Structure 1
Amino acid sequence: MNIIHLFTRYFHDVIIAVEAILANKMKSMLTALGIMFGVAAVISMLAIGKGAQQEVLEQIKLVGVNNIIVTPSETALGSPDAPSGGGIGSVKRFSPGLTLRDAEAIQAAIPTVNKVSPVISLNYHAVLNGKSYPVSLEGVSPYYFELLNVQLADGEIFTQDQSERGLPVCVIGDNIKNRFFSTEDPIGKYIKCGDTWLQVIGLIERRDFTASASDELGISSTDNKIFVPVKTMLLRFKDRARVDPEILESVTRAGANSTVSGDQAATKAEDQLDKIIIQVEETEHLGVTADIIKRMLLRRHSDIYDFEVTVPELLLKQQQKTNDIFNIVLGAIASISLVVGGIGIMNIMLASVWERIREIGTRQAIGASRKDIIVQFLSESTLISVSGGMIGIILGVIMARLINVMADIQTIVSVFSVLVAFGVSATVGIVFGYIPAKRAANQDPVESLRH
């Protein structure tokens, strides 16, 4: 009942405020400009932040949860913990490179490790019915698809038995299917890579892929790939672990030569694997497990740093933290324009009080109370601010879309950001409109009528 009474009591004051705004359209529009651009800036900045957060989450999905990635390094360096070489009698150290045995040792020896998948990548041409298409052939374990959240659209992944026996089976990406099996079901069909015919037993579901993920984390789209069991790759295609006799001969000669220094005596064979993906059971074990893996591989590789251990999730979380700080700074800068817009509203409303002092005196003379005057001017400032905020929301959505299209930066406008912007614009109108409204209400009716 009280709400209805208040609405009836002050509704006329709100109508007068609306009439004043319509009577001074240009001034009201200029007054609202600061709020418009402030709200637009806040929404677009929050959209950039939300887009960056979503991109990091997608990248985590691509690299898998709780994964550690071991890759060969370009150069073989001696361990800083190993005694420095040099001098008489030093022996040339030899590393076999990253091998399948390394992956098996990690799986067997470290209790915090859940699953392991070696990865071997080779470039081939897939051939079928006279059509040839360049593909990336990857030898992996059955765990690979689970570790990197790769989903199948049809068929199944190869079994443990197929993997152990090195059978010629494969799982293909979406582009391979479109290229060779556009009008038929590929499951059960055969495709030729090199001199080997592979039976298709699974089809990978197409998924969105960001180029930044490939650049920063060394991952790539599955659409142009053919996956085979890792032992199929080693038995039927190429095994780079077969050491060149020339390398063995050079190592033997270097060992016999007592004048070779330890700093010069580090060599490695060609890496059998291009990557080892290791999944850790718990996130809190990532750092410790990565350190254990590094120490184990150093022992297995004769204290030669010919590998790199990366924890993508930790890198991505650090990137997310940096993005959050950056977005807070951007949001704070954008919010300054809202404060400037609020100050503009207050200045215009203060000037408006002086311009309309006779109107204020007349209303007071015919019975308007101080509360009526406050409601009138407070309603006017709030309506100007809210109207500017609504226009700013539209501009913010447009700006976010333009940033997405023109700058190729992912932006996501959330309902939360729109509600926050709308609430802030209304609050700015109330806060910065109260002082002019209070001053108008405190005017002496007699003095006001003399102007």
Structure 2
Amino acid sequence: MKKTPVYIYMRYAHNVGIAVEAILSNKVKSMLTALGIMFGVAAVISMLAIGKGAQQEVLEQIKLVGVNNIIVTPVVQSFNDNSNGDSENNQSKKYSRGLHRMDAQAILETIPSVQRVSPVVSINYHAVKMGKSYPVTLEGVSPDYFEMLNINLDMGKQFSEQQTDNGMPVCVIGNNIRNRFFNQENPLGQYIKCGQVWLKVIGTISKRDFTTSASDEMGISTSDNKIIIPVKTMLMRFKDRGSINPELMNNMARGGSMFFMGGSNDDEESSNQKETSTNQLDKIIIQVENTEQLSATAEVIKRLILRRHSNVYDFEVTVPELLLKQQQKTNEIFNIVLGAIAGISLIVGGIGIMNIMLASVWERIREIGTRQAIGASRKDIIAQFLAESTLISITGGLIGIIIGVVLANLIHLMADIKTIISFYSVFIAFGVSATVGIIFGYIPAKRAASQDPVESLRH
């Protein structure tokens, strides 16, 4: 008699039904058998969620620092430190005025691969409006700054060429400052006082996502508490650390100390204390046309500034994107290790299933003999025990998915670690758990089918 598809379906459905009855009749043992799969799947999902979150943070940081950017920052040196010998002492007497706008201009005009340059001067102030005071970071930049760091405006516009060249008192404010001073009104055209200067608001910055792991060393910082003004406005109306008295230069060359002159009368920024920093700028941000040119351009920038600074290493050149991409590669390796460790727990769970199923074969040997005696074939016995192990794995996998999702969210809430649960990680974890059930369930199923019916009935 030819076996129709319906007959085959009914026969194997019957075998699966017997497997379900066996699982339900031994709930505790089945649950304990599935524990390894549950925690294995939960570990895979939570570990991959941590890895995915770390990768996403790196991508966000790359967006924050801008694409193909190079950061030049000053390094404060002591001119009176003669402890390194005569050669160092001679070098310390060489005059370098520090990081200056002329350095930024030279980089833009000299290096062909450079696309944009923005000098940056940052000062901490208290902004005042209608008697309300709020701590802010006043930052002087060029108009290219917004595009280089992917800063978008939700209202108003950036500085015009006329406003930039003439050092006009205009500003673009961050989201927190807007909410603090202009919560119920349109900020455009309004004025904010910083020190003795009234700044006209011409634009507001859209709120940006900012991760706690981001750092100012790589040029990553939130714009929410910033008031951004043209760099010439900063130098003309607030503070210009590059305004140095020539007599003091000679004093420094003779080994004396250097102190700052000029600037505003703001109570936070100008005091009678002497400052040793002569850097006019806090950083220079340079954007290169192609990623492939980053390393070479950074080296050229280093040599150019070193020559302009009389061979004094009073600056540092950083390529944030390359550092972040290296960090991303490290994260990927870390993710592979985490996934492998979590995968081992799935294999251990599979071994547990195989051991329990092998013991179950011995315990149910009379049942196997009875089924064989009434006409069950070896394929039926294999199907029954294979279905049993697979169902345990699938059930454990489904419960493990729930545990993994909950665990990933708990990690995010309690440890403040960003986690992202992807469909891919859930699919992989569940697919592996089902595969483990089939692979490790086949050996016990085959052993059950190989039993001699007569010997089985004797037990």
What TM-score results when the alignment is normalised by the length of structure 2? Answer: 0.90
Q: Does 1:18 align with 2:20?
A: yes
Given the alignment, which residue of 45, 50, 57 partners 1:48? 50
Indicate if the aligned counterparts of 1:52 and 1:410 stay in contact, CA closer than 8 A: yes
Distance of aligned partners of 1:5 and 1:102 in 2 relative to their CA distance in 1, 3 Å threshold: farther
1:372-426 Cα shifts (integer Å, max 9, x gaps): 1110000000000110111111111111111111111111111111000110000
After TM superposition, which residue ranges in structure 1, 4 or more long, deviate above 6 angstroms? none
1:326-358 Cα shifts (integer Å, max 9, x gaps): 121121111111111101100111111111111
Separation (CA, whole Å) in 2 of partners of 1:61 and 1:50: 17
Q: Does 1:389 align with 2:397?
A: yes
Distance of aligned partners of 1:379 and 1:59 in 2 relative to their CA distance in 1, 3 Å threshold: same
What corresponds to 1:333 in structure 2?
A: 341
Q: Does 1:179 align with 2:180?
A: yes
Separation (CA, whole Å) in 1 of partners of 2:384 and 2:409: 38
SS in 1 for 2:136: strand
What TM-score results when the alignment is normalised by the length of structure 1? Answer: 0.92
What corresponds to 2:360 in structure 1?
A: 352
Indicate if the aligned counterparts of 2:120 and 2:281 stay in contact, CA closer than 8 A: yes
Separation (CA, whole Å) in 2 of partners of 1:429 and 1:166: 72
Distance of aligned partners of 1:216 and 1:108 in 2 relative to their CA distance in 1, 3 Å threshold: closer
Partner amino acid for 1:192?
K
Separation (CA, whole Å) in 1 of partners of 2:287 and 2:4: 64
SS in 2 for 1:206: coil
What corresponds to 1:408 in structure 2?
A: 416
Indicate if the aligned counterparts of 1:241 and 1:269 stay in contact, CA closer than 8 A: no
After TM superposition, give the deviation of residue 160 of structure 1 in Å: 2.1
Given the alignment, which residue of 69, 81, 95 partners 1:67? 69
Indicate if the aligned counterparts of 2:95 and 2:309 stay in contact, CA closer than 8 A: yes
Partner amino acid for 2:45?
I
Distance of aligned partners of 1:207 and 1:279 in 2 relative to their CA distance in 1, 3 Å threshold: same
Separation (CA, whole Å) in 2 of partners of 1:311 and 1:447: 75
Indicate if the aligned counterparts of 2:117 and 2:286 stay in contact, CA closer than 8 A: yes
After TM superposition, give the deviation of residue 253 of structure 1 in Å: 4.5
Q: Does 1:29 align with 2:31?
A: yes
After TM superposition, give the deviation of residue 320 of structure 1 in Å: 1.0
Indicate if the aligned counterparts of 1:99 and 1:272 stay in contact, CA closer than 8 A: yes
Given the alignment, which residue of 380, 387, 394 partners 1:372? 380
What corresponds to 2:310 in structure 1?
A: 302
Distance of aligned partners of 1:6 and 1:187 in 2 relative to their CA distance in 1, 3 Å threshold: farther
Distance of aligned partners of 1:414 and 1:3 in 2 relative to their CA distance in 1, 3 Å threshold: farther
SS in 2 for 1:70: strand
SS in 1 for 2:248: helix
> Percent of counterpart pairs with the same letter?
71
Distance of aligned partners of 1:58 and 1:427 in 2 relative to their CA distance in 1, 3 Å threshold: same
Gaps of 5+ in 2: 80-85, 257-275
After TM superposition, give the deviation of residue 247 of structure 1 in Å: 2.2
What corresponds to 2:259 in structure 1?
A: none
SS in 2 for 1:182: coil
Separation (CA, whole Å) in 1 of partners of 2:194 and 2:4: 82
SS in 1 for 2:207: coil
Q: Does 1:127 align with 2:135?
A: no
Indicate if the aligned counterparts of 1:76 and 1:305 stay in contact, CA closer than 8 A: no
Indicate if the aligned counterparts of 2:394 and 2:434 stay in contact, CA closer than 8 A: yes
Indicate if the aligned counterparts of 1:70 and 1:276 stay in contact, CA closer than 8 A: yes
SS in 2 for 1:121: strand
Equivalences for 1:193-342 in 2 at 5 Å?
Answer: 193-214=194-215, 217-251=218-252, 253=254, 270-342=278-350
What corresponds to 1:81 in structure 2?
A: none
Partner amino acid for 2:142?
S
Separation (CA, whole Å) in 2 of partners of 1:117 and 1:5: 77
Separation (CA, whole Å) in 2 of partners of 1:347 and 1:269: 72
Count of residue pairs brought into register by the alignment: 432
1:16-48 Cα shifts (integer Å, max 9, x gaps): 000000000000000001111111111110000
What corresponds to 1:343 in structure 2?
A: 351
What corresponds to 2:269 in structure 1?
A: none
After TM superposition, give the deviation of residue 90 of structure 1 in Å: 8.8
Distance of aligned partners of 1:450 and 1:123 in 2 relative to their CA distance in 1, 3 Å threshold: same
Separation (CA, whole Å) in 2 of partners of 1:95 and 1:206: 39
Distance of aligned partners of 1:302 and 1:22 in 2 relative to their CA distance in 1, 3 Å threshold: same
Partner amino acid for 2:189?
G
Indicate if the aligned counterparts of 1:243 and 1:269 stay in contact, CA closer than 8 A: no
Separation (CA, whole Å) in 2 of partners of 1:405 and 1:269: 42
Indicate if the aligned counterparts of 2:45 and 2:401 stay in contact, CA closer than 8 A: yes
After TM superposition, give the deviation of residue 130 of structure 1 in Å: 1.6
After TM superposition, give the deviation of residue 233 of structure 1 in Å: 0.8
1:291-338 Cα shifts (integer Å, max 9, x gaps): 000000000000000000000011111111111111211211111111
Indicate if the aligned counterparts of 1:43 and 1:417 stay in contact, CA closer than 8 A: yes
Indicate if the aligned counterparts of 1:67 and 1:277 stay in contact, CA closer than 8 A: yes
Gaps of 5+ in 1: 78-83, 256-267
Partner amino acid for 1:223?
D
Indicate if the aligned counterparts of 1:95 and 1:269 stay in contact, CA closer than 8 A: no
After TM superposition, give the deviation of residue 194 of structure 1 in Å: 1.4
